[in-house]
Structure 1
Amino acid sequence: MVETETKTRLLPGAARGACASAAGGSLGALVAAALDARAAGAGTYEACLGLIAPLALVVGAGVAAARLVFASGASLAPLALLRSLNARRGPERQAWLGAPPLAALFGLLALVAVSGSAARLFAAEVSGVAAFGWVGLAVLPVLVASAAAVRTLGSALGPRLDERGLSPRVVLLGSVALFGLGLALLVSLGETSGAGGPFRILGVLRRQELDLRAPGLLLLITVGALLVPSPRRAALAGLLALLALAPLGFTGAAARGLGEDAALAIERQAPLSRIALAVLRRISDRDRDGVSAAFAGGDCDDQDRAISPRAVDVPGNGKDEDCSGEDEARPEERPRSAAELAAQQGAREHLADDLNVVLVTIDTLRADLGYLGNPRPVSPHLDALAQKSVVFERAYSLASYTGKSMGPLLTGKYSSELEGGFLHFNRYSKRETFVQERLKAAGVYTASVQGYWYFFKDAGFERGFETIDSSAAPKVVSIEGDQTSNSDEQSDAAIRLLGSPELGARRFFMWMHFVDPHAEYAPHPEHDFGPKPRDRYDGEVAFVDHHLGRFLAALEQAPFASRTAIVVTSDHGEAFGEHGMIRHGFELWEELVRVPLIIKVPGATPRRVLARRSAIDLVPTLLDLFKVPFTARSGTDFVSGESLVPDLLRPAAEPDPERPILMDMARGPHNAERRALIEGDQKLTVSEGRVLGLYDLAQDPAEKTDLSRDKARVALMREKLGAVTRRLRPVPMPPP
């Protein structure tokens, strides 16, 4: 009977606590939405609130359950707790003396352990729901073990501290301070790369590009859910329930009427709302095609998986598969004329028969070097090479980070056409053929000089090279944020390779990828431009340029120098706040995808090519320089680019023909899909078929004025993008 009465009293108390936690979470959501809307821009508050509201209710439910289990449904009252601690006596006082310092110690150890598990998951490229699941599996035993240790050791430590007359209040405050100090030390003494062992991993929190606003806002909502006290009266509990549920009205409004401009601003700028938006779109996607009709997802038929903005429209069939508003007309394909084909063949015939090629790719190298007007002396040796070369002033990478750009660059396929696995650092199937494999099969000696693990350890880049020198690579592998520099050692290795007998006896292809300009930016006193991130980046570029200059000087002294072509380019650029972002990845802004492209070919007249060109063209160019014809090895073996050799040998009086430029960054575990098409001076950027922006690069090279409200322009560019993407041969991707 007593047990029944206890349950009866507990259940209404639990309900009142749930109402309080939910209301507190919603109050926290009001503040979080205001901060999110401030980041996203004017007119987005209601949408941000509607997106965050369901998340706040989930947090409130979790807090209510925790309060019921650990605090009998009571709310968190920090000041009242502190005031009452010293008055406690007996085992309760001893528990408050023994548990806090141990909780601080084991909390730090648990944080290190969980962070290590998360880092291993990142290295293994687990993401999404799977990542949360694995982290949860890692967290649970750590928390259980830590709680057991605190309980066991605390029961022994508490009485001893009580005998010494210590104050529970002082012990609690000191333990909180100890935890904060320990966390600060782990962060400050750790490596920003996360390397160096478990106690160095929290150094990643110092990384400049790490955005902790979303966890901070989530913590704000959690604190709100903890602080609201449980009401004693049913009427007040009902009022709190209404307060908790009221923001869901904004959720419904966002589902039905979220505008495209507001959705785009939230996706790009609002730290917490953009996460909630992605989750809500996924939940509301009825036909499971990866696109929702709600929350400005853009699916015009959420009952048919074949129709969505992600689909490629079939012209002239009377259906609007890509939700552009109309069925595209059948395109008029213009085959290349006999004169164009003859000109390309003629250009090949003007090349020497015994050329060698050195390909130099420099990680994270922006296009704005000295030869394009940079007043800083960051690239004197590249500038000198440019004076003797054909310079492509408006060259583009294929994506904005290495894992989605270097594979395409060396295979001649766009990233959505490659079997690389759904990874951040793609590992390419043996069905994919790299350019060095084609050259080796044609009898060319192939050599690779690398300083970064990705390019010689089982990702595919090592295939086809007869010699791989990785002596310059750090012994401790850093996935991201390496703070070492090795361009000096890498250039030494490349210079040694120039003296090998194979390079004198056979035609050769040599590739080296310098990684130093990638963050973290290591200081170089001999190239000191200042303390700011851009200053330190420029110092890294100058460091690479200096040591590349040593290699180029050694190459000039080699007996085969007069018959060796040199190609220099980059995998992507780097942002320094131009569009509210730093570093690279995620987007396709000009500062992220404009890269240098310098090609020095014996016999080619130095000049500047102003027409836009793409890294997709490098593989057919390299094959042409060696006069190796492309031969398909299977039905999935092809090359998407077009040789640049006619550009290299075109007389200065002849204009360089323009052609469309496609950037194709396939979806990965840490990035959404991005595609951009440049046709003429118009640049259209899309994600999963949704328009993200339209810019006139002639009038607006910094991409500050979005023209996507001009529906006629957008329709024309979407039609052109469709014509280009229909020629792609994409591989299947896992569902989003």
Structure 2
Amino acid sequence: MHDPAAGGEPRVQWLHQPATWRAEVLGLALACAIPVTCVDAYLLDRKLGIISGGYLAEFQFSGLRLALFLAISLLTDIAVVAPILAVVLWLARLLWMHALARAFLAVSVALTVVAAADVAVYELQRYLGDLVNVNILVNLLGGDIREILHFSASPALHWLGFISFGGLAVVGLSVVLDNRFPSRMRQDPGARKTTFAALVLTLTAAVVVGAVGRLNDPGVDRALAYKPAGRVVGSFTEWLTDVDRDGYGLLSTPADTAPFNSAIHPYAVEIAGNGVDENGIGGDLPSGPPYRDTSYPTVSFVRHPDVVFVILETFRADALGAIVGGRSVTPTLDRLRHDGVEARRAFSHNGFTIQSRYHAFTGHLLGPGNPGSLIDDFNANGYQTAFFSAQDESFGENFDVGFGRAAVRYDARVDRDKRFTQFATPASLTVSWKVLEGRVNAFLDERDPDRPLFLHINIQDGHFPYTNPDIVPIVDDVRMQRDELLPERADDLKQMYLNTLANVDGALGRMLARVQRTTGRRPGVVVIADHGESLFDQGFLGHGYAANDAQTRIPFIVDGLPARVPAVAGQVDVRGVLRQAMTGPDAEPVVDSSDERAVFQYIGTLGRPKEIAVVEGDHRSRLTLLGQRSVALSPAETTLVHFWERVSGRLSAAP
């Protein structure tokens, strides 16, 4: 371009003033970091509700707390953007570019890099939430390269034109600025060394201040973990402080109690009876037999009634029997409860759909894998097995529920064009009760009615955003858009949710009537849910964040079968209850009040849960494992920890 000694009469004097490299780097870094921090705050609010609240908003910032988060975020952005600017400025000097052109080019490149990272992270999280990593993405999409490319690239394709046009514009404007505003950069002695020192000092400040903020505020920690620059600085902090290289550094939550011993860390597998507390909670695991799931060998049924097994998506137990505007929300389920039996208290073991369905179909806590399922039990006894699901069954297929072994299979992929969800990827694809009911009815009208039937129905409408175009007013006509789902409208939200459940209940009633009409026989029916839902209970909207009644208490109803239902039940009891009803003596269905078994619950994964809990009778013990752990445990909490350690130990030992 131009020789730095080139002269010329300046047109705008301040544009031609010489600048030091160090001042230019840090000044431009601050200018870039301010808009980056503002944009990230907006995106984080859209995703996590850190300012306005909303669905899955666990933390909310305001006042001084918000100001502190923004300050840490700004420092983090400066630490990440400054090295990018320094590299571009250095390369621009090799091209003899003048100061203003160099600055423009450096800022453009730095902002493009950060914007691309924001787009990639935010767009993927719109699909997957917290599951953004390559392994999950590949497993989620079944290794299909076409779907992977569509899934990962297509959300950002609409940005490609802007990026391409912007790149050309940057190059063009850089040339114009270089020609119209020649100026020099003053090269101080030792400029490179002092600039490097300034970059190191900035990164050090970001690491120290960020670590202090994240360690003292779990909300700040979660928000910075989503922010691209926060991930970069956080990863560097973790690597730098993970002395024993066990994967746990300074920012790990919970903290590593033995930073110099790689065998001891917060989720290490406990070795029973060795005198060492490997995971730092509950003391050493006492010697004892390892945990084993119930075995379900092949059995011969002594009776062969038609059986309909129903899983209702996001269905709170307290919706049963609810009345809105003088009308019953659940007349079908209320009839089944009246004619049959229900567990006095029933719970999901986990706050997420994939694990919950696995527990119910297999009777196992441990997973993933294929320990057999209800589909196999009924296949082995001459039933026509039919699996009708309103979701995409390829999502979470490593938690095998037997979908692929059912004689008749339907899921939302068949009616992809009729979905009510925005996206057609496995984690999102869902069809309404209306589409599902039509498919079930068509199957029932065509099948041989003389063969015994095992029919699974999975209805999805109760999930967020709690309504869709096929939901009609039954008990209420309120309809809210996603941006209206706010704490101050919690009452309207619950009315809309209950109206959706009334639609679900009505569809279920019609499908059960169709089964009886086409077979000429009254079917046995089992109804549960995958989990409940917090509708701003305790200030939270969603599920999978706490083992409380709102998010984990569910229906457990059995009608038309000689079943013995535990008074307190979990989803793993479904398989055993059904097998007993098909092989035991012919008797009236009953709730076994003497069988108040303990129901184990975990939030997250069994190997690394955020929280564990156990329900015994009317009491629940809960213990947080992710975050600040309790030092002194009660005997009940210690027993709970040791049970989880035996379960997770078996999980890690599985082939």
When normalised by structure 2's length, the TM-score is 0.66
Query: Residue 576 of structure 1 aligns to a residue in which SS?
Result: strand
For residues 323 and 489 of structure 1, the distance between their equivalents in structure 2, rounded to whole angstroms, comes to 51
> What does residue 13 of structure 2 align with?
none
Contact conserved, 2:207 with 2:233, CA < 8 A, in 1?
no
> What does residue 545 of structure 1 align with?
505
Query: Residue 305 of structure 1 aligns to a residue in which SS?
Result: coil
> What does residue 418 of structure 1 align with?
368
Contact conserved, 2:79 with 2:199, CA < 8 A, in 1?
no
1:394 has 2:315 as partner: no
Cα-to-partner distance string for 1:581-620 (whole Å, 9 max, x where unaligned): 4334455454332222212143469x9x653x21122223
> What does residue 312 of structure 1 align with?
269
For residues 115 and 724 of structure 1, the distance between their equivalents in structure 2, rounded to whole angstroms, comes to 33
> What does residue 440 of structure 1 align with?
379
Contact conserved, 2:332 with 2:508, CA < 8 A, in 1?
yes
> What does residue 13 of structure 1 align with?
20
Query: Residue 727 of structure 1 aligns to a residue in which SS?
Result: helix
Compute the displacement of 1:301 (Å). 1.8
Query: Residue 313 of structure 1 aligns to a residue in which SS?
Result: coil
Which among 721, 724, 729 is matched to residue 641 of structure 2?
721
> What does residue 559 of structure 2 align with?
600
Contact conserved, 1:254 with 1:295, CA < 8 A, in 2?
no
Percent identity of paired positions between Structure 1 and Structure 2: 17
Which residue identity is paired with 2:558?
A: I
For residues 549 and 412 of structure 1, the distance between their equivalents in structure 2, rounded to whole angstroms, comes to 27
Distance change (3 Å), C-alpha of 1:324 and 1:624: same
What is the 5 A alignment of 1:152-191?
Answer: none
Contact conserved, 2:570 with 2:599, CA < 8 A, in 1?
no
What is the 5 A alignment of 1:580-591?
Answer: 580-585=539-544, 588-591=547-550
Contact conserved, 2:385 with 2:408, CA < 8 A, in 1?
yes
1:530 has 2:478 as partner: yes
> What does residue 615 of structure 1 align with?
571
Distance change (3 Å), C-alpha of 1:648 and 1:234: farther
For residues 356 and 657 of structure 1, the distance between their equivalents in structure 2, rounded to whole angstroms, comes to 29
Compute the displacement of 1:679 (Å). 4.3
What is the 5 A alignment of 1:100-139?
Answer: 127=133
Distance change (3 Å), C-alpha of 1:552 and 1:722: same
RMSD: 5.7
Cα-to-partner distance string for 1:272-312 (whole Å, 9 max, x where unaligned): 67867864664333444333255554111233332111023
Contact conserved, 1:402 with 1:572, CA < 8 A, in 2?
yes
For residues 530 and 575 of structure 2, the distance between their equivalents in structure 1, rounded to whole angstroms, comes to 14
Which residue identity is paired with 1:386?
A: R
Greater alpha carbon shift after TM alignment, 266-275 vs 231-240: 231-240
For residues 77 and 437 of structure 2, the distance between their equivalents in structure 1, rounded to whole angstroms, comes to 52
Compute the displacement of 1:258 (Å). 7.0
Greater alpha carbon shift after TM alignment, 677-686 vs 133-142: 133-142
Cα-to-partner distance string for 1:515-557 (whole Å, 9 max, x where unaligned): 1222342143433441345243333222111111112233444
Which among 304, 322, 331 is matched to residue 354 of structure 1?
304
Contact conserved, 1:311 with 1:321, CA < 8 A, in 2?
yes
1:561 has 2:518 as partner: no
Greater alpha carbon shift after TM alignment, 593-602 vs 10-19: 10-19
For residues 5 and 667 of structure 1, the distance between their equivalents in structure 2, rounded to whole angstroms, comes to 67
What is the 5 A alignment of 1:20-419?
Answer: 20-23=27-30, 39=61, 53-63=75-85, 74=100, 127=133, 145-147=164-166, 245=201, 248-249=204-205, 251-252=207-208, 255=211, 262-267=216-221, 279=235, 282-283=238-239, 284-294=241-251, 297-324=254-281, 326-330=283-287, 353-371=303-321, 377-414=328-365, 417-419=367-369
Compute the displacement of 1:731 (Å). 5.1
What is the 5 A alignment of 1:588-667?
Answer: 588-603=547-562, 611=568, 613-627=569-583, 649-650=590-591, 654-663=593-602, 665-666=604-605
Distance change (3 Å), C-alpha of 1:330 and 1:381: same
Compute the displacement of 1:359 (Å). 0.4
Query: Residue 473 of structure 2 aligns to a residue in which SS?
Result: helix
How many aligned residue pairs are there?
558
Contact conserved, 2:391 with 2:430, CA < 8 A, in 1?
no
Query: Residue 248 of structure 2 aligns to a residue in which SS?
Result: coil
Distance change (3 Å), C-alpha of 1:418 and 1:52: farther
Cα-to-partner distance string for 1:308-351 (whole Å, 9 max, x where unaligned): 11023334311110112732444699999xxxxxxxxxxx99x9
For residues 368 and 590 of structure 1, the distance between their equivalents in structure 2, rounded to whole angstroms, comes to 9
Distance change (3 Å), C-alpha of 1:22 and 1:646: farther
Distance change (3 Å), C-alpha of 1:552 and 1:610: same
Compute the displacement of 1:372 (Å). 6.3
For residues 647 and 16 of structure 1, the distance between their equivalents in structure 2, rounded to whole angstroms, comes to 84
Contact conserved, 1:393 with 1:596, CA < 8 A, in 2?
no
For residues 444 and 616 of structure 1, the distance between their equivalents in structure 2, rounded to whole angstroms, comes to 22
Query: Residue 165 of structure 2 aligns to a residue in which SS?
Result: helix
For residues 452 and 12 of structure 1, the distance between their equivalents in structure 2, rounded to whole angstroms, comes to 60
For residues 332 and 466 of structure 1, the distance between their equivalents in structure 2, rounded to whole angstroms, comes to 39
For residues 291 and 645 of structure 2, the distance between their equivalents in structure 1, rounded to whole angstroms, comes to 16
For residues 277 and 390 of structure 1, the distance between their equivalents in structure 2, rounded to whole angstroms, comes to 56
Contact conserved, 1:281 with 1:292, CA < 8 A, in 2?
yes
For residues 147 and 40 of structure 1, the distance between their equivalents in structure 2, rounded to whole angstroms, comes to 35
Which residue identity is paired with 1:17?
A: E
Which among 464, 469, 489 is matched to residue 405 of structure 2?
464
> What does residue 730 of structure 1 align with?
651
Contact conserved, 2:329 with 2:501, CA < 8 A, in 1?
yes
Contact conserved, 2:376 with 2:405, CA < 8 A, in 1?
yes
Contact conserved, 1:677 with 1:685, CA < 8 A, in 2?
yes
Unaligned runs of 5+ in 2: 7-15, 42-49, 52-58, 105-115, 138-147, 177-184, 294-298, 486-492
Contact conserved, 1:53 with 1:251, CA < 8 A, in 2?
no
Compute the displacement of 1:726 (Å). 0.5
Cα-to-partner distance string for 1:162-188 (whole Å, 9 max, x where unaligned): xxxxxxxxxxxxxxxxxxxxxxxxxxx
For residues 496 and 649 of structure 1, the distance between their equivalents in structure 2, rounded to whole angstroms, comes to 34
For residues 540 and 384 of structure 2, the distance between their equivalents in structure 1, rounded to whole angstroms, comes to 42
Which residue identity is paired with 1:619?
A: R
Query: Residue 509 of structure 1 aligns to a residue in which SS?
Result: strand
When normalised by structure 1's length, the TM-score is 0.60
Cα-to-partner distance string for 1:214-248 (whole Å, 9 max, x where unaligned): xxxxxxxxxxxxxxxx9999999989997994795
Query: Residue 496 of structure 2 aligns to a residue in which SS?
Result: helix
Query: Residue 626 of structure 1 aligns to a residue in which SS?
Result: helix
Unaligned runs of 5+ in 1: 79-109, 159-229, 337-347, 420-430, 629-644, 693-707
Contact conserved, 1:289 with 1:305, CA < 8 A, in 2?
yes
Compute the displacement of 1:360 (Å). 0.8
Compute the displacement of 1:10 (Å). 12
Which residue identity is paired with 2:78?
A: A
Distance change (3 Å), C-alpha of 1:5 and 1:403: farther
Contact conserved, 2:383 with 2:454, CA < 8 A, in 1?
yes
